Amino acid sequence: MAEAAGSGGRFWKRHIVRQLQLRDRAQSGRFLDVVQAYTRLLEKSSLMVHFSEKLEAESFDRQAPRPGQDTCGSVPEPGPGSAEGLQTLKRKYQRQIAEVKDASGELAYRIIELSKLLKAKECELQEQKTRLGSLSGRLAELEAEQQQLAGRAGDLGCGNAARKAEYDALRERYRLQEAELRQAAERGEELLQSLVRKKKEAAEHQNEKNERVKQARLCRELKKATKRTVSIDVEADEGKPAEVNVPVSELAELEGCKKLWKRPFRSASATSVTLARCMGVFKGLLDFRLKRGNSIGSESEVHYRSLPICLVTCLPSRVSDVQEAHSSEVNAVKFGPSSGVLATGGADKLIRLWNVAGGRLKDMQTLEGANGTITSIEFDPSGHQILAASYNKAVHLWHIRDCKSKETLTGHADKVTAAKFRSTRHQAVTGSRDRTVKEWDLCKGACYRTINVFSYCNDVVCCDNVIMSGHHDKKIRFWDSRGARCTEVIPVEGQVTSLHISQDQMHLLSCSRDNTLKVIDLKMNNVRQVFQADGFKCGSDWTKAIFSPDKSYALVGSSNGSLYLWNMESGKLETVLSGEHRASVNAVAWCFSGQYVVSVDQGRKVVLWR
């Protein structure tokens, strides 16, 4: 590298010297004619001087006396020929002298001009020499800098070679690790599918086992019932069928399977007549107690506490407390069955529990473990567990007391937008943007039924054996969970963002992106009321609207931060609560006692109204 730099320096030096020589030749060629003319002029001038001196000498010789001639005598008169020749020669010489003087003047003028031009060229040459000196110094500096840069370039080249070797090694490691990750992902997918398959098989096996236990228990109860005496009153009219009179106390004993009937038979023939009716009665009583996924007499079945009943709802009128609940927007809010516990979930992947007492919100605990934005929150009827849907394609189940995730339900292929408990805490229904609704056995953590619902599902609610789902294609669909078939479709004018069913399960409230709320009569399956107001605008695809606990009002939040409250009886706008939220309200909740209302927005606020 140093030799290359030295050869490059010598090349530049030779190039500059060559350019200077070319410039010297060009500038010297400009003065070559002048110098030659000046030389010829000097030669002519010297010749003229020599010729003038010669003429003067000849004239002097002619005028001088010849030897032997008497100088004291009179001067002889010259002949006429010699005088005229002298005059002619004089005029000739004078003419030549005048021409020479004119030529000398012109040459002198040219000499002066050329002298000035020569001085100018000398000045320019001096400037060029000065500039050449400065350029030579600059060239030396640049050569030194070039050598330094060449050294740095060599160092950088070595460093780049080392970096390239490291990069190639890292790239090879990345390729190997990517292959390992792909294999691990494939193994994980296989394990997940195997786990889901095993859970499904276990659920089917458990269901079959429960069915066998149910059938065996039913057979035992029927055998016991056929051995018991039943009081039958036979009317005098033979054409009138006999009826079985079963007291209420004995029905309770039959449900508990702990006491035996002690009524004696009065007629054996009557038993054979009413046996089919007795079997129907027993089967109905036992099916009434049967819960999906559990045996009939399961000792582990939890008896739920009774939910508070709201007789009169208090209209919210003022702000009681304001809290900044999450580090990002809040998407879901729900009161517990006791009305003293509030849960909020947001985009920070956390669920926070609040104690509501004395019109204040007090932070209780935080539930962690979700890997995506929380979209829906639901308490089980006992208030001990929380079910939450999230954007990481999963549903999480927490125990409130130990703050640990009990179960993670996976199986959806896209964001889970809704998760609700069924009639017990052992079953749940979820809706997702993968166009499916899934039913889950929470005891086994397995999905036992998947319903394809044709469109993005934004919310679901459950009522006995009916599942209602709201969709992105502006339709509300009703599904028979026993046969997984669609029984009713109600079209609306906008994308459905939420569904809420009244406590008496008689009416369904829907919120849609056409900025309206619709009340659907579940007996007639038609739209009974439509609520809309100036200023109300549905702010997102997950805006939630709710009934009041006594079904007297419908409440929803707007994109302008206000809460709109309609009267169900009159169908008119009752009030508008505004002034606290500065962002779009995503969800609202009304406690079961009817005393408090909570609203959450995209600006991380939780507002308690009373």
> What residue spans define the domains of the chain?
1-26+101-150, 213-289, 319-609
Find the length of the chain: 610
Q: From CA 198, how far away is CA 191, in angstroms rounded?
A: 10
Between these two residues, 272 and 13, which has the higher pLDDT value?
A: 13
Angle at 494 between CA 490 and CA 496, to 5 degrees: 70
Between these two residues, 543 and 13, which has the higher pLDDT value?
A: 543
Cα 81 to Cα 86, 88, 94, 375, distances in angstroms: 9, 11, 20, 146
Paired with 361 in beta bridges are 356
Output phi, psi for 406, to 5 deg: -80, -40
Paired with 470 in beta bridges are 459, 476
- What percent of the chain has a predicted confidence (pLDDT) above 70? 80
Determine the 3-state secondary structure of 202 from DSSP: helix
Residue 302 has pLDDT above 50, yes or no: no
Least confident segment among 193-197, 305-309, 320-324: 305-309
Paired with 418 in beta bridges are 431
- Residue 297's pLDDT band, with cuts at 50, 70 and 90, is very low
pLDDT number for residue 228: 65
Q: From CA 566, how far away is CA 554, in angstroms rounded?
A: 5
What is the arithmetic mean of pLDDT over 556-564? 95
What is the arithmetic mean of pLDDT over 507-515? 95
pLDDT number for residue 602: 92
What is the arithmetic mean of pLDDT over 219-244? 55
Contact of 451 with 434, CB cutoff 8 Å: no
pLDDT number for residue 233: 45
Between these two residues, 319 and 400, which has the higher pLDDT value?
A: 319
Domain range 319-609, CATH class: mainly beta
- Residue 254's pLDDT band, with cuts at 50, 70 and 90, is very low
Residue 361 has pLDDT above 80, yes or no: yes
Q: From CA 140, how far away is CA 110, in angstroms rounded?
A: 43
Q: What is the DSSP string of 172-198?
A: HHHHHHHHHHHHHHHHHHHHHHHHHHH
What is the 3-state secondary structure of 518-576? Answer: EEEECCCCEEEEEECCCCCCCCCCCCCEEECCCCCEEEEECCCCCEEEEECCCCCEEEE
Could you identify the residue written with the tokens 């399961």? 298
Name the DSSP class of 244. Answer: B
- Residue 240's pLDDT band, with cuts at 50, 70 and 90, is very low
Residue 464 has pLDDT above 70, yes or no: yes
Paired with 563 in beta bridges are 557, 577
pLDDT number for residue 63: 56
pLDDT number for residue 267: 34
Q: Identify residue 205 by its one-letter amino acid code.
A: H
Contact of 554 with 547, CB cutoff 8 Å: yes
